[in-house]
Structure formats: structure tokens, C-alpha cells
Structure 1
Amino acid sequence: MSGSNILVSAESYVRQLFSKQLPDKLCFHNLAHTEMVVKASKEISQGMQLTNEEREIILIAAWFHDTGYIRTYAGHEEESKNIAREFLQKNQYTPLKISKVLTCIAATQLEKAPKEISEKVLRDADLYHLSSSNYFKWLGLLRKEWETVLDSKVSDDQWHLQNLDFLHQHNYCTAYGQKKLEKGKQANLKKNIQALEGYYHDAQ
């Protein structure tokens, strides 16, 4: 199967999978998030001037990186890898390329340090929303999802503090991310500080 065909098949497969099997309560980790990650992967790959084969690996991984949520919430990455492996083997994708796709998916785990450029691109794409003008919209969806799925309820000030801490600790992995995405992230960091300051001001 050619590169363009495998990508079309991967997209179609994941769209159907999410449509039929993804729980409704997942309002952040859903098709909209995956579409954003795919779009971001294309943007970063182009900015990094990657080869067509590298882009193909990254985009397949982008489509599949959250499919494991149809089976489990915690540790979904392993299930995502299993689903991707099953699909790619059925489509006669080469073992070497399958391995690269699975390594990319694994790199979306925050505790792992991405090594290859393809892993770094997907990691940056997965956290593209940190730099987005819709940052607070995405945050609201994530908060709602955690409240529903994990029964994790925190106060507004705790929520802003958690996200501020995450923004401070986060670093984009690719040169493109560091040059282009970091600006948006820093703007959102300032907005988060302002929101926190506003909360404390109102509470006084």
C-alpha cells in the first residue's frame, strides 16, 4: 500500500473507531483533539523539512495515538500501540515502519523523553494546544473530562496553579516548536497568571 493510501485508510479507520466506540464522556481526548494533533504534525513536519517517509510515520502515529481510550483511560498509550499494530499488520505495513510508528505513539507519554525527530514532532503536536489561541477552551474540556472520568474536582485557583506549573515545566522538543510555538505558549502562560491574579483579587 502506498504512503498516501495507508494514510487515507488510517484516517478512515480511526474516524470510524471513535464514532462507534469512544465514550461520550471523553470531551478532550476525542476526534477533535486527534484532528488537531494531525494538523499540528503536518505543520511541524513541514517546518522541520522532514522527508515524506518521516511524515508518513508521524501522521499515522498521530491518527492512532489516542485510540487506546476506547479500551482504557490509564495507560491508554499501550492500547493505542496495540490497535495501531493490528491495523498496520493487516495492511502489510513493513515491520520496521510499524516499529517506528509505535515508538512515536509511546513518546506521547509525558514521562518519556523523545529521542528521534519523529517522536519529538508528535510530542510537540500532542501539546500544540498549549500554544493555541483556543488554549483556555481546550483546558476547559480537559477539566470537564477529568471531573467526569477521574472524579477529579479542584477549585478554580488550584486548576490555574496546576496548569501554570505545567506550562513552566514544559519545553517544546523540536526547533520549530521552540521558535514558533513557544511564543503562543508564553502568551498563554501570562494569561494564566492574569486569571490567577484576578481570582485572588476577587477573593479578597
Structure 2
Amino acid sequence: MSIVEDTDVLLQDVEAHIEKYIQEEINSDFVYHNFQHTYAVVEAATELAEHYEVSKNDRLAIILAAWFHDTGYAEGWEDHEERGVRNATNWLASKGVTDQQLIDNIAGCIRATKMPQQPQNFLEEIVGDADLSHLGDLSYWDRCGRVRQEFAITRNMIMSDQEWIDFELGFMLNHEFHTEAAREMFGERKSKHVKQLYKRKKALFPDQTPSNLEELEDAKRRKKELKKLKKAVAKAEQRRDPEFKPGRGVETMYRATYRTHVNLSSIADNKANIMLSVNAIILSICAANLFPSLDKNPHLVVPSVILVGVCLASLFYAIQATRPKVTEGKSSMEDIKARRSNLLFFGNFYNMPIDDFHYGMMEMIRDEDFLYSSMTRDLYYLGVVLAKKYEFLRICYNVFLFGLIAAVIAFVAAAVIYNINHPIK
């Protein structure tokens, strides 16, 4: 089967297959993990894939993984992801699909929905975010109630209102969407749901005047819990708030770190230039004065070879420390849309079309997370380059120091031996 030509047919077939499979094979006790949930995940996954304009095969892998990700519930909820992978693989084989890369991508995306989510690549991040998109959707309260009902029926997890709100709040506060698009689409409404959960929790413990010491202690404990929870909600809101701007301290930190890196790079270049100049002067003097007299002073040949070797080795490492590295000079649009590129360094964009570069820079200006992420990457790679520079410089200075000592000792030894063998009469 040609994946590109038959994609639309394949997607029509899988929708009909999954709808029938869920209705016939999955127990109706799973009131949350039903066709309605699967269809919502497919819609969210499709929207995220279209937002990033992924390739046709990647889009196919994302959507097929979304369709199959909960089919393993036919045999229970434990390890259902692996059974979902098996169901997807078998169905694709029945359709004559043999593209191993596609099959592996689908399997990885299905496994990425396992809690706690740990996606390993961009496609898996999209499917993971789609699976939990209801957290920031209008359907949240309905889906939330269905999860509670399903847990009670299938896992015998019967919780009071307070226990359920604590459980849901803990899950919401510990969860983060993986992709920037998911944070834009679902983050704001999810934050509202967190606030509403907090209000419901607070309403379960209305202020009451304690009538005895025991009630007084209980009231204090509840207030401490609510205060602690309020701080957690505030921190979560700050992390998710698109209007949140890093303070001047963060900006000062980046500015100072950049300045330090630039100064250290300048110091490294100056040290390398010193070694280049010194060794070039030594070689010039040797070429002008020492080499022409070696035929009359053969005992100085070995020391001269040592000295020249030391200078050439020092020059080699000094040049390595200052030699520029040529990079590809191009960042893909996929990397820009996935917020993985760093357009702050010329080596990542000098071969890009101006329109792509302009688009990337505008995206970075509008998205502070993207901007600060790029600056962080830039600092990291500046540090990597500095480490290499100083490693070469250390070798250069060691070679020059110990080599020069060895050359001087060789000259002295050669002169002493020559005087012993040729005493002055």
C-alpha cells in the first residue's frame, strides 16, 4: 500500500473500525474511555498536527495513534497501551501497510499516553497533549465526572467529594502540556478549572466558629491546608500565565552571563594570538640564524629539531583554538514551529530564506518562552565552544612550556657533550 496515495482511505477505514471495535469490545463500564473520548483526542491531535504543519506521514502516525491509543481497554485498564500498540500493528498489517517507520512512530505515540506521560519526541508530545486536552476544554467537568465514575466501577476507587477534589487538583497541578500550541489552546481554560476546583475545595470547609479545643485544632489544620493549596495554585498559574514576564533579575542574569562568555572568548583568542606570535618569532629566528649554521655545528641538529617540533605543535593547537567552525546555517520551519531552533546565532540561519528567518524571529518576539529558551540554548553552545577553546589552549601552553624546557636542556646537553669530545687546545 502506498501511504501517501491512500492516506484518506486509511483514515476513513480506521474511524469506522475503531467505532465498531469500541462499541463491541470495550465494556460499557468504561464510561470515560469510550468512543466520545477517542474521537475528542483525534480531533485535538489533528488540530495540533495542523498547527505545526507536520509532514503527511507524521500526521498519519499522530492520527492513527490517537485512534488506537485506548483500544487496549477491551482487556482491562492495566497495561492497555501495549495492547493498543498490538491492535494498531495488527490492523495496519491487515491493510497491507509495511512502513516500519510509520509503525514505530505510532507505537511510540501510543506508549507516550501512559501515565505519567514521558514522551520521547515531538510526535509523542502531540499525542500526549491531545490525550489530556480535556483538561483545558469545555467538556472538562463532564469528562471529570466520568473519570470518577469509571474509577469507582472498574477500580473500586470510591472517593468522597473532598478526596476526589484533592485527587483532581493534585493531577492538574502536576500536569504540564508538552507543546507550546497545546499550552496556547488549552492552558488558559485549564487554569480556570484549577481555580474552580480550589473554590469547590474551599466551599467544602466553610468558616465555622469552633465550639471546643478539638474543633479549634481541626479548623487550624484546614486553614493551613487551604493556604498551602492556594500557594500551589498561585505558582501553577504563574507558570502557565502567558502574560507572566521574567523579572529584571532574570534579564540581568542573561546579560551578565552573555558578557562573561564574550569576555572569556576574547581572552582565549588573545592567549592564542600570543602563542601564535611567540612561536612565529622563534621559528623566524631559527630560520634566519640557526638553520644556516647547522652544517658547521651538527651537534645542534637534534636540539633544533626538538625546538621546531615544539613550536609547530604549539602553533597547531593555538590555531585549533581560534579556527572557526562552519555549521549548516539553516533551521527548518518544523524546528521553528516546534520551538526547538536557536535563531540568535548566525550559524543557524545564514543559509535560510529571509522569509523563513523573519517568520522565526517574529515568533520568538511574540513568544517569551521561545525567546528565553533560545537564549538558554545559545548560552549552552557558547559554553561548549569556550570549553573546546580552553582545552586546546591548555594543551598549547603545556606543549610550549615543557617542550621549551626540553629544547633548552637538549641545547645545553649538546654543547656540553660537544665540548667534552672537542676540548679546546
Q: TM-score range by the shorter chain?
A: over 0.9
Query: How far, CA to CA, are the matches of 2:55 and 2:119 in structure 1?
Result: 19
Partner in structure 2 of residue 67 of structure 1:
71
Determine if contact 2:57/2:102 at 8 Å carries over to the other structure: no
For structure 1, the 5+ residue unaligned runs are none
Contact 2:48 2:182 in 1 (8 A): yes
Matching of residue 86 in structure 1 with residue 90 in structure 2: yes
**Correspondence 1:187 to 2:181:** no
Name which structure has the greater RCO, CA cutoff 8 Å, separation 6+: 1
Give the RMSD, CA atoms, in angstroms.
Answer: 1.5
Query: Tell me, what secondary structure is at the counterpart of 1:201?
Result: coil
Deviation string for 1:134-175 (max 9, x for gaps)? Answer: 211111000000100111101101100111111111000011
Is residue 2:39 matched to residue 1:28?
no
CA contact (8 A) 1:107 1:114 kept: yes
8 Å Cα contact 2:29-2:153 kept in structure 1: yes
* Aligned residue in 1 for 2:142: 137
Supply the AA of the counterpart residue of 2:19: R
Which blocks of at least 5 consecutive residues in structure 2 are unaligned?
A: 210-425
Please list, as runs of the form range in 1=range in 2, the aligned pairs for 1:13-162 lying within 5 A after superposition.
Answer: 13-93=17-97, 94-162=99-167
Q: Secondary structure, in 3 states, of the residue corresponding to 2:205?
A: helix
Q: How far, CA to CA, are the matches of 1:77 and 1:15 in structure 2?
A: 18
Distance across 2 between alignment mates of 1:114 and 1:203: 46
SS at match of 1:200: coil
1:202 shift after superposition = 8.2
Deviations along 1:9-56, whole A, 9 cap, x unmatched? 111111111121110111000100001000111111122222222111
Moved over 3 A (4+): none
AA aligned to 1:188 is: H
Change (3 A) 1:193 1:100: same
Q: Which amino acid aligns with 2:62?
A: I
Aligned length: 204
Q: How does the TM-score come out when normalised to structure 2?
A: 0.47
Given that 1:22 and 1:69 are in contact with CA atoms closer than 8 Å, whether structure 2 keeps it comes out as yes
The CA deviation at 1:114 is 0.7
**Distance 1:203-1:95 versus aligned 2 partners, 3 A rule:** farther
Moved more, 43-52 or 194-203: 194-203
Partner Cα separation in structure 1 for residue 139 and residue 195 of structure 2: 14
Cross-structure match for 2:300: none
**Range 107-116 or range 144-153, more displaced:** 107-116
Percent of aligned pairs sharing the same letter: 26
Match of 1:174 among 179, 194, 210: 179
1:59 maps to a residue whose letter is I
The secondary structure found in structure 1 opposite 2:103 is: helix
Mapped partners of 1:14, 1:170: distance in 2: 28
So what's the TM-score if we normalise by structure 1? 0.95
